[in-house]
Structure 1
């Protein structure tokens, strides 16, 4: 078993220290393998006394503290701790945290299963998970939060440790990018949970965080970016003069930083001149450093129970595509899962399951002859044993907390028999089927729609993998209409929704792919348009029993909502809008020519 140093930086942190230490003693990992180091940045409260007088020091492999006579800042104080420790792995852990009992164990498991080119592993934060995107297949991320990350000591020292010019905020992005510039990868470990009490309430804006993080965005552009990035950074930072900030001295603080920024920026630029051979090019997202998922202030928590969930996968002779969907299922933080895979055609994917996924609870069946996606879906429903069902097409992916979030939400709302979350639409260009290589064009949220039956009658806003539903609905109303070639999910959701309530969960937990090729998109849209009228006509014949209160609520929402097209365009990036417009023009142009 690996030994690790855990380093904490304290500054007037008396309210957090006892809870943090108690959580560490509850670890399901040998405490003698854990070496604790406190570096105190000249606290004026009782932090030092609490650290020094801790009674259970003997439980750990080591326990030491360093009381500094001035505040060095976060990065420099952590470096001080590193220079006074010696274990091969270092866990940087914020003082205002408590760790879940399996936190360290899951980090070590991740280390043991990682390649040598991984230099950093990041834990997941509760109650507010950091919303930055990560790869749900490889679990690789472009940058990692310094609040709870574990590093290899030799790699950390090799890349130059924390940049001591950065006092606070932004040092974790800088560290992450230098890891990547040296060819190392960063992995996200969502099964390792840290409770971080950084915000007193959702959406809180802390003045120091606001001013330091925005300024560091500009400095990181000097350090890693192009001249164009730096100019954009100055325009953005100057723009802060024209908004109301979180402090009374807002304008003077911004102006002061703006005046000194070129001189400090030159110092940061020195790193780029020395390390330009790496060819590392970060992707600045305005004030962010990665695409963010919806749900930054969704309150994450473990479910009250763990009923069996059946993930239903329809596939059709493309094991390389299926592999990625299964890896995203393997990465789920929720463990009571069975995977039902029905292959439309001969058992091409069966060997993949035996060779690579023996650890998953898989039920597999092939049809031998092609029968179509709807019949295959119904076969999966018939085979499922779970309390809850969740479809997953073989080319779509679940983020690691997808099942956990939906189960947790639906258990708290027993009046609802289905729950759905937000997802990314990802236009994807397939470069090669063997090996499976693709290029994701962009990530776009197409639907942020609270449950509304009238909207659902007009169009489907439940991508199939976003919905977790109670098997009771299936047993009551049946499965997929086998006569439909497409839009079978929309038809299914309408049938279910007109009898049962669905719960809208405002967190992004999955992604679905669409073709990026214009001609493929046009053919796909033509088929959808053909079946659009078929599904509408079919469902208009049904008589539904809906109470007037539900109808009034749905109508009231529609009356207050801005026009749909304006509402959707407002949330799109320019690149996404251009892609949508180009596809529509091509589609209607082709129709006119026909």
Structure 2
């Protein structure tokens, strides 16, 4: 038996204002703290921070398995955690910044994620609030290509095996480099959004930090040298030269850039001589790494106090099990509860037995609704009639939710009781399907096609709300009905038009879902022709809709 289950590693640098809140948030944890050890490494130039830590240890140290405080000269983020790693005894090593606080369930949920993972998983990253890290991740497996180490749970054995953090990186980029090195050794990284930390890194949204940008850019160059292709490496001199053109109020900008250039030249041979050894994918996009989702500075609220049932309706038919399984898993991965999933199967009931084999998470219920073959609208209406949730969301069987999709939209709909629906942004993912059984496909391109605030004028001429992006009140269906059975395409657009007659919609500028379109140009062209055939029909039906309002009301209504 281990003397403790978890070592929490913290590096401090004149961090006194954060200490009390940080420790108190751990004390509020639902985890048995007798199995937790705190390892503090102080890099401050004086003893003030250490004195404050010692005071906290006197007051709260008995609650933990250990409360250890050490000092050393400032060796940067990685150097501090590497020093703590030498004293680690637990199987899991939590690296965390001091300027954040934990929710009561954060640590237990992280450890639960770790316990359910295979030995090949090396790290588990919690979700940050009030600003979620906007990088992409796999909505089905929850794997990510790199993790933010503002707070991350690491497998101690794996961390030691790869040698800890890169000692040649001082303050920025250590998390990306270590993530890539772990994956280079065959490990998998996971995102655990059910576990939440409140990270107070920005005083205000969209704040630009020149020093951080310069440090991150230099780290990006080193990562290119170690993990990039020849093309990535060739761009390093050009990217460094481009930094001299950036505007900055920082008075020592050019001196800093000159020092950064000297550091780049001095360290480049080391990174070039320690190149990656595997064929794993190490993405690099300009000065960043992964495709970023919209909404990096969309403020995330606390989990709602009231959690009404949400019905997710998935229409499917025979031969779609691979896609259906992924869609359902993306609902299982939601941070919101309770949810009911209504699988409406058009013309067959192949999914009945398979659905019974699923291990359904707590707080989620699945119902299978086979219907006689009648098409998309018949299946959709059957789901709407059977839905028991106060809120409803459609999910096509080849589309996916990001893990916070329902939580984000429910919070906004509750905050706007006068509105009937809320919708977010989505990626259009051009997909080349190689096989449906077993499912095999390639995601060719991600693009954010629609970023449109609510406008009735525009909605009545263009469908800018993909079906899976919108959460609406079930009362809209009761008042206005469901899909028009005469439509075999654009039925969702017609539904949004009907619902918008009496209700405003709320727009959330955050990417919370994806929808697939064909990557093959010929197939995409046929699909578009099919949609175009129904466009005039929807416009004609709109012309028959009657709105009873005064002139003043109508002006406000349309604007």
Query: Please, what TM-score do these two structures have when normalized by structure 2?
Result: 0.96
C-alpha separation between the residues in 2 aligned to 1:424 and 1:547? 39
Encode CA deviations 1:482-522: one digit per residue, 9 max, x unaligned. Answer: 11101000000011112210000111100000111122112
Q: CA separation of 1:546/1:521 partners in 2, compared to 1, >3 Å: closer, same or farther? A: farther
What secondary structure does 1:438 align onto?
strand
Pairing 1:62–2:63 present = no
From 332, 347, 350, the counterpart of 2:349: 347
Q: Is the Cα–Cα contact under 8 Å of residues 452 and 554 in structure 1 kept in the other structure?
A: no
Pairing 1:289–2:289 present = yes
From 151, 164, 167, the counterpart of 2:167: 164
**Residue 311 (structure 1) aligns with:** 312
From 36, 39, 48, the counterpart of 1:37: 39
How large is the Cα RMSD of the aligned pairs? Answer: 1.7
**Residue 428 (structure 1) aligns with:** 431
Residue 554 of structure 1, CA deviation: 8.6
Q: Is the Cα–Cα contact under 8 Å of residues 304 and 411 in structure 1 kept in the other structure?
A: no
Q: Is the Cα–Cα contact under 8 Å of residues 320 and 434 in structure 1 kept in the other structure?
A: yes
Q: Is the Cα–Cα contact under 8 Å of residues 206 and 246 in structure 1 kept in the other structure?
A: no
Q: Is the Cα–Cα contact under 8 Å of residues 332 and 360 in structure 2 kept in the other structure?
A: no
From 439, 452, 456, the counterpart of 1:453: 456
Pairing 1:271–2:274 present = yes
C-alpha separation between the residues in 2 aligned to 1:228 and 1:236? 12
Matches within 5 A, 1:106-185: 106-185=109-188
From 442, 446, 450, the counterpart of 1:443: 446
Q: Is the Cα–Cα contact under 8 Å of residues 102 and 196 in structure 2 kept in the other structure?
A: yes
Q: Is the Cα–Cα contact under 8 Å of residues 335 and 404 in structure 2 kept in the other structure?
A: yes
Residue 551 of structure 1, CA deviation: 6.2
Encode CA deviations 1:14-52: one digit per residue, 9 max, x unaligned. Answer: 111110111101111111111111011125373212211
**Residue 496 (structure 1) aligns with:** 499
What secondary structure does 1:443 align onto?
strand
**Residue 415 (structure 1) aligns with:** 418
**Residue 25 (structure 2) aligns with:** 23
Residue 271 of structure 1, CA deviation: 1.2
**Residue 364 (structure 1) aligns with:** 368
Encode CA deviations 1:140-174: one digit per residue, 9 max, x unaligned. Answer: 00100011111111111111210011110100000
Give ranges in structure 2 of 5+ residues lacking alignment: none
C-alpha separation between the residues in 1 aligned to 2:473 and 2:531? 28
C-alpha separation between the residues in 2 aligned to 1:306 and 1:362? 18
Encode CA deviations 1:259-314: one digit per residue, 9 max, x unaligned. Answer: 44222211222211xx43x2234221111110100000011122242111111111
**Residue 223 (structure 1) aligns with:** 226
Deviant stretches of 4+, over 6 Å: 553-556
**Residue 99 (structure 2) aligns with:** 96
**Residue 261 (structure 1) aligns with:** 264
C-alpha separation between the residues in 1 aligned to 2:485 and 2:392? 19
C-alpha separation between the residues in 2 aligned to 1:410 and 1:349? 32
The structure with the greater share of residues assigned to helix is 1
Q: Is the Cα–Cα contact under 8 Å of residues 454 and 554 in structure 1 kept in the other structure?
A: no
Residue 541 of structure 1, CA deviation: 1.7
Encode CA deviations 1:43-92: one digit per residue, 9 max, x unaligned. Answer: 53732122111111111111111022x21110000000010121111000
**Residue 298 (structure 1) aligns with:** 298
Encode CA deviations 1:536-591: one digit per residue, 9 max, x unaligned. Answer: 111112122467678657987xxxxxxxxxxxxxxxxxxxxxxxxxxxxxxxxxxx
Residue 9 of structure 1, CA deviation: 0.5
Matches within 5 A, 1:447-486: 447-486=450-489
Q: CA separation of 1:248/1:36 partners in 2, compared to 1, >3 Å: closer, same or farther? A: same
Pairing 1:405–2:412 present = no
Q: Is the Cα–Cα contact under 8 Å of residues 456 and 558 in structure 2 kept in the other structure?
A: no
Pairing 1:326–2:328 present = yes
* Number of residue equivalences: 551
**Residue 588 (structure 1) aligns with:** none
Matches within 5 A, 1:536-551: 536-545=539-548
C-alpha separation between the residues in 1 aligned to 2:37 and 2:484? 60
C-alpha separation between the residues in 2 aligned to 1:287 and 1:553? 44
Pairing 1:389–2:419 present = no
**Residue 11 (structure 1) aligns with:** 13
Q: CA separation of 1:84/1:465 partners in 2, compared to 1, >3 Å: closer, same or farther? A: same
C-alpha separation between the residues in 2 aligned to 1:108 and 1:548? 60
Q: Is the Cα–Cα contact under 8 Å of residues 124 and 191 in structure 1 kept in the other structure?
A: yes
Q: CA separation of 1:325/1:548 partners in 2, compared to 1, >3 Å: closer, same or farther? A: farther
Pairing 1:335–2:313 present = no
C-alpha separation between the residues in 1 aligned to 2:387 and 2:249? 52
C-alpha separation between the residues in 2 aligned to 1:390 and 1:329? 11
Q: Is the Cα–Cα contact under 8 Å of residues 223 and 265 in structure 1 kept in the other structure?
A: no
C-alpha separation between the residues in 1 aligned to 2:478 and 2:328? 26
Stretch moving more, 499-508 or 239-248? 239-248
C-alpha separation between the residues in 2 aligned to 1:160 and 1:552? 66
Query: Please, what TM-score do these two structures have when normalized by structure 1?
Result: 0.90
Q: Is the Cα–Cα contact under 8 Å of residues 501 and 547 in structure 2 kept in the other structure?
A: yes
Q: Is the Cα–Cα contact under 8 Å of residues 307 and 386 in structure 1 kept in the other structure?
A: yes
